[in-house]
Each structure stands twice: as structure tokens, then as C-alpha cells.
Chain A
Amino acid sequence: MANGIGDTAPSPDRTARDRGAMTAMVVSGASVALALAGGLVAALRASDTNNTFLLVFVLAFPLGVFALWFGRRAETHIVDRDGPDEDEQLARLARRVAVAGIVLSVLLACGLGVWAAWTGLEDVQEIFFSLPDLGDSAGLVTDGFLLNVKIFVVAEVLVLVWGLVVAVTRELPGRAAAPLRWLAVAYVDIFRGLPAIITIYLVVFGLPLSRLPIVPGTDASFLGFDQVEMLGVLALVLVYGAYVAEVYRAGIESVHWSQRAAAQGLGLSRGQAMRYVVVPQALRRVVPPLMNDFIGLQKDTALLNIAGIFEGFAAASNYANNNFNLSSVTGLGICFVVITIPMTRFTDYLVRRDQRRLRGGGVGAAVTDVVGASGGRA
């Protein structure tokens, strides 16, 4: 019974109150006091030319973090030794106070910072968030943005296909396919390395000069795109096709080789194994990184304004130049953010649904299927 739980004889540790808990309490109390004091000083003394009070918060914040860390350490120490309950509670209280100190210092710092910088922020608000200008430019900007949407939707579909073609080409077996593999590698190396803006310049301005027969003429039109817009889409497909090809390739190579062995062991050819077994599994795995590239592609449609395409950014900066107000650009920014969020949530949902299905959600369906099948036979 020397060290058992029911041991009633006070161990040496139990007699002395723990100093760590006390210290933690003092430090966390100090951080709160400092934050409050800073707030008080600021309320009395601060003006938009005098922001020195922020220094107080700069001290109060790390003090709170330190108190939190120290309080946790003290608590662990006390619990490890089965120290007195009062000390344990004190340490826990110290941690709560420390959290209060941290929150307080952050909130006060932000609030007072905004208050002190108010006139400056008013200017910012005037130029970037002016409601009348947002309203006035909305029609122009959304019209332009619709072109961005059209461009990225078409480009994304093409990128999905093109990226897979490049990735599969890179994985082709055999000596005969070597030149194709080299081409695929060279393409990815070049277009992944080239800044998108340079690719856009080269494709939109350079390709028509080449007079290659495949280049659309100046009067060509496809899906409502004119020549320059078509070339703009092509430029984006070339840039993002290279990224997406690598994403696909990583997905293809992440499928364990035994899956291929099993497929080929059943008599499927390499191509069939790829098509029915490897690629479907690879696609499921690459959806999240693919999303990343798609959002990048969506944002990069704004680069097309340098090629003279009157998309959202061109429209917004046009408004900004005429009215000396940048709220139109803010409005466009909001458009871009708003359109990506539902897409991200939607793909998250799709991925989760797919995983649920593969993890055995299909058993219920199996029963009805068999019942249906036997019913059909009867």
C-alpha cells in the first residue's frame, strides 16, 4: 500500500502547495490586467496620430500565451504526481484566465486599431467599398464576369480531357510509344514552367502570325467565342492541361500495381486494365487536387484582359479608370470568391458520398437488387 491510490499517509508532495499553479495564476492575471490597462490608456490617450498603446497589447498577448502554456505544464505536473486537488483547480483556472487575457488583448487591439485608424479606413472604404459605385458598376462587371465564367467552363471541360490524354500518353508502354512519351514530357515541362501570362501572349498574338491552317481565322466563331477568345481559351488549356496531366499521373501511379496485375491476370489487356481498373480509381483520388487547379484556372481567366479580351477585370478596371473608384474591382473579386465556394462544397460532398458508397453503403441496395432479380425470374 506504499504508493496505492488508497494511501492516506501524506506524501511530501501533498504537504506543499504547488508553486507552478500559483505562478501560472499570477502570469495569466497579469496578462488580463495588462490588456485591460492598455484598453484604458488607449481610451483616454489614443488619437489617430498616437498608436503607441498598441505596444501594451503586443506585451499582453504573448504574456497570455505564456500563461496558457505554463498553466498547462503546471497542471500536467500536478496530475502526474497526484498533487492536491486545489492546486489542480487553480492551474485549470489559471489557464482559463490566460485564454481570457489572450482573447481580450486581441479583441481590444483590433477594435482600438480600427478606431485609431478610422479616418484612413474611411478613405479605403470610399475607394474600394463604396456602395454607390459597387451598384453602378455591378451590371458592367457581371456582364464581363459572365465571359470569365463561359471561358473557364469551356476551358475546364477541355482541360479534363486534354490532361488525361497527356497523362495516359506519358504512361504508354513499349518502345514504339517512346516519341509520344517524350512529347508529353516536353509539353508538361514547358507549359508548367512558362508563366501563364507569357503563354497567353505567345498563343493569342503569336499563333495567328504563324498562319498555321489549324489557327481559327479572324472571322471564326465557336460557341459564341470570337478568334481572340478562342485563342485565350486555348492558352489556358495549354497551361492548366500541363498541371492537370501531372495531377492525373500522380493519381494513376498511386493505384497499387497489384490492381493492374489482377486485371491482367484475368486476361484484360494493358489498355483495358488502364481504362476499367486504374483510371477510374485514379480519378476518384485526384478530385481534391483537381479542384485546386480549377480554381486557379478560374482566377487566371482575369489574365486574358492583357490579350484585349473584355472580360470582368477589363470591365472593372475600365470603370475604375473612368470614375476614379476601385469598388468595381472589389465587386469582381466578390464574384470570383462567390463562384468558387459552392463548387468546392459540391465536390467535397461528391467525394464524401462516393467514399460512403464504397465503404459498404451498397449492402442495402444489394438486397433490393437480389429481390428484384428473383422477382423478375418468378
Chain B
Amino acid sequence: MTPVVEIRGLVKRFGFTTVLDGIDLDVTDHEVVCLIGASGSGKSTLLRCVNGLEPLSSGTVTVAGRTVIQDDIKLNRLRRDVGIVFQSYNLFPHMTVMHNVTLAPRKVLHLSTEEAEQRARPLLERIGLADKASAYPDSLSGGQQQRVAIVRALAMQPKLMLFDEITSALDPELVNEVLLMMKDLAQEGMTMIVATHEMAFARDVANKVCFLHQGKILEEGPPQQIFTSPKEERTAEFLKRTLESGRL
């Protein structure tokens, strides 16, 4: 199986701080990889490097056969195949839900408005928000906004989805609706890289869990192994602290 994502020796520095310190990671087709680790361990930066939102300091990242380089035209092309969803939803507040979902298919894939809406409507129906198509994001709950953000990315029919702690800004009772949606996606065979603090989700859904610590992947493996018998002391420590805070 050829990997969808191939990361080799990825280093990312902001000034004198090294945020990612030599990351090697393969993600194969239909695989769900969860990145866990404390805040500041580099999870978000790693995701942002995969779709070229952050320029790499050194190393190589290949996504679906395309190398991530700092070239606007190549990056635009690459990002068509890579959907990303952020912690803060980042819906466009001046556009209706439908307009949010259809903007990229229309402008990037040059679909007509009807074609784009035909593509968007079943997606919105699936998340039960078809009746909100003409509503503006501000009138939706956080969970609804985040689900629209996922649908907005899916409307581009990406080969890979990146999720950047997408439930962290949600009220606890809204987290589940978003996690369920991601679970569905995973079962349908979407290739996903998920940075998350939701350990239960990682345990249930991931094929592979990577524990990041100070910009390095300290340990990776199937969730059963990571969560029950971690090899690294730091992994165990992190999981213990997470457990104590009632997150597992």
C-alpha cells in the first residue's frame, strides 16, 4: 500500500524555537492516525505543515504523491485534496451555510452554483442542517458550526482530512455530535490525521496513535498498545495525567 502521507525528517522552527524536531510518519490509505500529546507538543503545527499552511524548515512532506513546497500554485493544487478543520471552526461569517460549503467547489473546482449545491445538499442533510442552509454561522451552535466546517471541507471530496483539535472549543454536551460524525467518516474509509485530546475517541477509532513530546514522535503504535502498555515513561505519565483529569 502506498502511503497517502509520507513525512521524512520534518523540522519546523519559529525563530529560535524548534517546534517540530525530526518527524517521520507514514499514513496509508483509509488509515486514521491520532496525534496525542500536551499542548505545545507540536500537533497543530504538524497538521499545518502537511497542507503547507506553515513553510517547512527542513525535511520533506509528500501528500498523495505531491511534495509540499513553498510554491503558491502547487500548494493550491495540493490543498484541494487535503481538507482541514480547525479548533475555532473558521466559518466565513459573511456567508450563509450553503455559501460557505459551496464557495470552494465553485471557485476552485469551477462547478456551477447548481452543481455545487447539489453536492452540498446531501452533505448538509446528512448532518441534519439542511434547513439551516440559508442561515448565517452566527445563528448556529458551536457543534453545528463545527459540523458545517467539516462538511465544507468534505465538499471538496478530499483524499485526506486533517482535524486540529476540533472539539476543544466546544461545550461538553456538543462534543459528541462532532465525534460521532468523525467516527462515521472513519468507518467510510476516509484517511484522517486527527490531533485530539479525546482519548476515548483515539482508542476507539484510530488505527495508529502517535504520542508527540517536544516536537518528536516519542512513541507510535496501535491504540491498544499505547493506552494499555506504553513503552515510554513519558507516554505513561501523560496518559496518567489525562486519566486523572477525567478525559479517558
Tell whether A269 pairs with B72 under 8 Å between CB atoms, given A276-B107, A362-B139, A365-B134. yes
Q: What residues of chain A lie closer than 8 Å to B53, measured between beta carbons?
A: 261, 264-265
CB distance from A134 to the nearest CB of B (A): 47
CB–CB A370/B104 < 8 A: no
CB distance from A313 to the nearest CB of B (A): 41
A359 within 8 A of B: yes
Best-surrounded residue of A263, A266, A276, A359 (most CB of chain B within 10 A) = A266
Q: What residues of chain B lie closer than 8 Å to A362, measured between beta carbons?
A: 96, 134-136, 139
Which chain A residue shows the least CB distance to B91?
A262
A369 within 8 A of B: yes
B76 within 8 A of A: yes
A259 within 8 A of B: yes
Q: What residues of chain B lie closer than 8 Å to A358, measured between beta carbons?
A: 93-94, 136, 138
CB–CB B94/A369 < 8 A: no
In chain B, positions 123-139 with a C-beta closer than 8 Å to chain A are: 130-136, 138-139
Q: Which of B77, B84, B107 contacts A265 (CB 8 A)?
A: B84
**Distance, CA A373 to CA B121, complexed state (A):** 11
**Distance, CA A322 to CA B132, complexed state (A):** 68
Q: What residues of chain A lie closer than 8 Å to B104, measured between beta carbons?
A: 266-268
CB distance from A363 to the nearest CB of B (A): 5
CB distance from B139 to the nearest CB of A (A): 3
B51 within 8 A of A: yes
CB–CB A359/B156 < 8 A: no
Residues 350-367 of A, flagged 1 when their CB comes within 8 A of B and 0 if not, give: 000000011111110111
**Distance, CA A263 to CA B132, complexed state (A):** 21
A103 within 8 A of B: no
In chain A, positions 317-367 with a C-beta closer than 8 Å to chain B are: 357-363, 365-367
CB–CB A370/B103 < 8 A: no
B83 within 8 A of A: yes
**Distance, CA A106 to CA B88, complexed state (A):** 55
CB–CB A265/B136 < 8 A: no
CB–CB A264/B79 < 8 A: yes
CB–CB B79/A281 < 8 A: no
CB–CB A267/B76 < 8 A: yes
CB–CB A366/B83 < 8 A: no
CB–CB B134/A366 < 8 A: yes
Best-surrounded residue of A262, A269, A357, A361 (most CB of chain B within 10 A) = A262
Which chain A residue shows the least CB distance to B106?
A276
Q: Which of A277, A359, A366, A367 contacts B92 (CB 8 A)?
A: A277
CB–CB A357/B92 < 8 A: no
CB–CB A265/B79 < 8 A: yes
CB distance from B27 to the nearest CB of A (A): 18
CB–CB B136/A370 < 8 A: no
Q: What residues of chain A lie closer than 8 Å to B180, measured between beta carbons?
A: none
Which chain B residue shows the least CB distance to A269?
B76
In chain B, positions 73-95 with a C-beta closer than 8 Å to chain A are: 73, 75-77, 79-80, 82-84, 86, 88, 90-94
B108 within 8 A of A: yes
Q: What residues of chain B lie closer than 8 Å to A284, measured between beta carbons?
A: 94
Which chain B residue shows the least CB distance to A275?
B107
CB distance from B109 to the nearest CB of A (A): 8
CB–CB A258/B134 < 8 A: no
Q: What residues of chain A lie closer than 8 Å to B75, measured between beta carbons?
A: 264
Q: What residues of chain B lie closer than 8 Å to A363, measured between beta carbons?
A: 132, 134-135, 139
Given A262-B90, A268-B104, A276-B92: 17 more A-B contacts, CB < 8 Å: A258-B86, A259-B90, A261-B90, A262-B149, A263-B92, A264-B53, A265-B79, A266-B156, A267-B76, A267-B77, A267-B80, A268-B76, A268-B107, A357-B136, A361-B136, A363-B132, A363-B139
Can you list the 9 inter-chain pairs with the closest CB atoms, starting with the nearest?
A360-B139, A366-B134, A262-B90, A266-B104, A267-B80, A265-B84, A267-B108, A267-B79, A369-B134
A-B contact pairs, 9 of them (CB 8 A): A258-B90, A262-B149, A266-B83, A266-B103, A276-B103, A281-B93, A284-B94, A361-B136, A363-B139
